[in-house]
Every structure is written in structure tokens, then in C-alpha cells.
Amino acid sequence: MLLRHTTDKIATRSALTVNPAKTCQPIGAMYASLGIHSCLPHSHGSQGCYAYHRSTLTRHYKEPVMAATSSFTEGSSVFGGQANLVQAIDNIFTVYEPDVIAVHTTCLSETIGDDIPQIIAKARDDGKIPSDKYVIHANTPSYVGSHVTGFANMTKAMVDYFAKPYGHKEKQINIIPGFVEPCDMQEIKRITKELEVRSIVFPDTSNVLNGPQTGRYEMFPHGGVSIEELIRSGSSMGTLALGHLASGLAARAMDTKCKVPCEILDLPIGLEETDIFINTLRKIAGVNVPDSLTTERGQLLDIITDMHQYFYHKKVGLVGDPDQLISLTKFLVSVDMWPIHIVTGTPGAKFEKRIREITKDIPHEVNVKAAGDMFLFHQWIKNAPVDLLIGNTYVKYIARDEDIPMVRFGFPILDRVGHSYFPTVGYRGGMRLLERILDALLARKDRDASEVEFELVM
């Protein structure tokens, strides 16, 4: 649907959302589950919900996403889904043989009040769960939170079910990467390897949702954090959580359960946040930063210096997830761009406070909204146009209607490829992100240039 009839008159809306800037909790929980090796996500609800969760992830990653469902009918909706889930657990272990089933709830199962831990216990007592297999769960009703909080809840479940405290600490660090792309998780692991830091990254969807084409289908790809690693995470010397909303819950649970101290940082997007991430890793592990990472940092700084004139005071509108937007806004402000319209569909007053702190020196009115929607975002743009839009695929309708360049970033991206293979975290990710921003801005400059101004060299 094109949005040309969106009005510029902003009215207060308390009971109506138009084009929400988020998806639902079970999608995030399913994505996190796929980051465990040999895990089959299970949607405890109707087939329609399960189909939506799978199709959204499949369309974003361009990979077949496998999951199971309790297939609620009218009877399950009235009398509860215990029988369906117990039967599903038996069928899944018999037919598909995963090591783990990760159950997430939906609106329907939450509304009728299914007690998932009790159902899992019954399935084990009935012999439906083999002795060397696991069933974990997270409560993820769609009528609260977003895909980011669903991811956080399932990641915390990994700690609750698997992490075990030991009497000693191993020289390893847990890293909870947040709701980012598989390639971002891969880049985080590469950076830790460059630092010669032993790490356990969970969840880890690298080589699961961005694996190679081998000509053979594998229901459980080679990637993902192993059960053994999750169990050993309780003996780590520390936990580094990237993204307060997506990763903080699990990090604090690890601290409480296993006495593994945690540091919660913003996502390492851009120069400053990557510096903080690497420096924190360096201090916890007691290592030195290698020349290879110093060189990458210098390359990112060189791009910023060389291209600064094109970024300078360009106004930007952003839509996305809270953790990503906080770091992205910091990065844009650091290169003298002006993020002036910022919307996330995920609720949370802390988000608005953080963004206002980051943008306090911008000499322009800054609009920021948590639990906002695309309709409000579009109205802001009509009242105060911008030079660039950054957001997921749904933003392209606004970009087209208002004739504004756009960079795709975040979740979901349904109409392009590459986002699951080319990271935006770390120094390399920062270079890639600036390249895409620069391409969008200079393509518009070329398009609008007169014959006299149309130059060969920028």
C-alpha cells in the first residue's frame, strides 16, 4: 500500500497502531533457538502463527527455517494444549532427532494459561524425552514486547536450563551478541579470535542462516552454540552482553545463577562502540590488541576523514530495534550527521532517554518514539524532510512516496540479499555501513545533478 494520503497533521493515538515498526516475540525466540546446534524451535500455538514466524525468517535470511508446532484446534484452545505438546515432543524426537526442542509460546497458549514447565515435566515422566535430549522453553506472548524481547527471553532460557556453576573459573568469556545478523555474530567471533580470547558466543546463528550452498540439505546445519558450551558457560570468567534489551536479561541471569560477572555494552556499531567492545574484552582477558585490529580501526577512521564532507549535517530518519538504533545513532552523530526522526516499535522509556542524550548537541529538533509506528514516522518526515532514511524493507514505501534515498538496515529485510553475509558490527562493519550510506547519498547527488554539475570524480 502506498502512503501518499498520509496527512502531515499529527494527532494523539492511544489505541491504534498503523504499520507497526516491529514484529512479534515468537519470531525473536525462534531466531535465538536456531542459534543452538541441533535445535528444533517449537511454536506452542496454532499453525497460522507458526507459519508466519517461519515465513518471516525464511524471507529475511533466504534460507529454509525449520520449526514445529503444537497445531492448536478449537479443542486445544478451550481445554489447553498439553496433549498436543506432549505428542509433539514425542513425534519430534522420534522423527527428526534434534538434541534440543526450544518451545516458545504464542498469544493463544499464553491466554489460556498453559504451564509449559509442568508439561515438559510430564513429557519426561512419560518417557517422551530421551535421557540425553533436552526441552527448554520461553514465554513469548505476541501482545507484549517485540521480536527483540522474544529473543531476550529465549536467550535467558539457555542460561536457565543449561548453564551450571562450577567451583572454578575457566579462562573464557561468554559473549551474548544481541539481535544481530549471523554475519555479525561471525564477525564478533573473528574479533575475539584476533584478540586470542577464548569465547562462548550464544546464541550463534552463523553458519546456520548464512551457510554455504553444498548441494545437500541439512536440517541441522553445522553452526550454532553446542549444549556442552552452554553448560560450560557457567564457569566463564565473565559475560559480555551486547545490547541492553536483547542481551542484558541473560547476562544478569548468568550472574545470579553462576556468579559470572557481566558487562552490558551497546552493540559495537561504529568506531566508538567497537573501541569500547574491544577494550572491554582486552581488560577482562588480559590481552593486547593486535596490529590487525589497529589497522582495521585506522581504515575506518580514514574513510570517515576522507568522506566527511558528504556526511556533514545530512539529516537522517531511522526505524529499527532499540539496541541497533542506539549504536547507529551514536555512529551517525560521530560523523556529523543529524538523526532527527527515530522510531522503534519496541516499548521502553529508557530508549527515548538514551537517544535524547546522544542527540542533545544536534542543533535541530529531534523526534524520538518508543512503541511508535511507521505512520507517525512518515508524518514527522512530512513536517521536517530528511536527506536519508535507514530502516527495514517496510521503510521503502515512505522512501518512494517522499523521494528520499534509503539504506536497508535491521529486521526484516525482505527485498534484498547480503545483510546476512556482510556485517555491520566492528570496524569492518563500520566501513561497510558507511560505504552503503555514501553510495545512497552520492547516487542521489548524481541523479539530481545538472549537466554542468555531473562530475566524473566526486
Block mean pLDDT (10 aa), the chain, length 458: 75 88 96 98 93 96 95 80 94 97 95 95 96 97 96 98 91 97 98 97 97 92 96 97 98 97 98 98 95 98 97 98 98 98 95 98 97 96 97 97 97 96 98 98 95 87
For residue 335, the model assigns a pLDDT of 98
Asked if 37 contacts 220 with a C-beta cutoff of 8 angstroms, the reply is yes
For residue 12, the model assigns a pLDDT of 84
For residue 77, the model assigns a pLDDT of 74
For residue 280, the model assigns a pLDDT of 97
For residue 3, the model assigns a pLDDT of 64
> Which grid cell is 329?
545513532
Nearest to 123 by CA among 82, 152, 157: 82
Residue with grid cell 526442542, as numbered in its chain: 101
For residue 59, the model assigns a pLDDT of 97
User: String of b and e for 132-144 (b: at least 16 CB within 10 Å)?
Assistant: ebbbbbbbbbbee
For residue 167, the model assigns a pLDDT of 81
Task: Give CA–CA dist 240/71, Å, rounded.
Answer: 38
* Cβ atoms within 10 Å, residue 55: 12
For residue 455, the model assigns a pLDDT of 87
Instruction: Name the strand (E) or helix (H) holding 138.
Output: strand 134-138
Helices 349-358, 322-334: axis angle to 10 degrees equals 10
Asked if 343 contacts 376 with a C-beta cutoff of 8 angstroms, the reply is yes
Task: Give CA–CA dist 98/117, Å, rounded.
Answer: 19
- Pair type for strands 315-320 and 338-344: parallel
Region for 313 from its dihedrals, namely left if φ exceeds 0, alpha if ψ lies in -120 to 50, beta otherwise? left
Q: Could you give the C-alpha distances from 175 to 109, 145, 178, 182, 250, in angstroms and in order?
A: 32, 23, 9, 14, 10
CA atoms within 13 A on the CB side of 173: 28
Task: Give CA–CA dist 458/439, Å, rounded.
Answer: 11
For residue 406, the cross-strand partners are 389
Task: Give CA–CA dist 452/179, Å, rounded.
Answer: 46
For residue 78, the model assigns a pLDDT of 74
Asked if 412 contacts 392 with a C-beta cutoff of 8 angstroms, the reply is yes
For residue 2, the model assigns a pLDDT of 52
DSSP secondary structure code for residue 408 in this structure: E
> Which grid cell is 208?
546456520
Task: Give CA–CA dist 144/87, Å, rounded.
Answer: 28
> Which grid cell is 333?
552523530
Asked if 182 contacts 206 with a C-beta cutoff of 8 angstroms, the reply is yes
Q: Which domains does the chain have, with CATH numbers?
A: 25-147 (3.40.50.1980), 170-290 (3.40.50.1980), 293-448 (3.40.50.1980)
Nearest to 60 by CA among 69, 71, 52: 52
* Cβ atoms within 10 Å, residue 263: 17
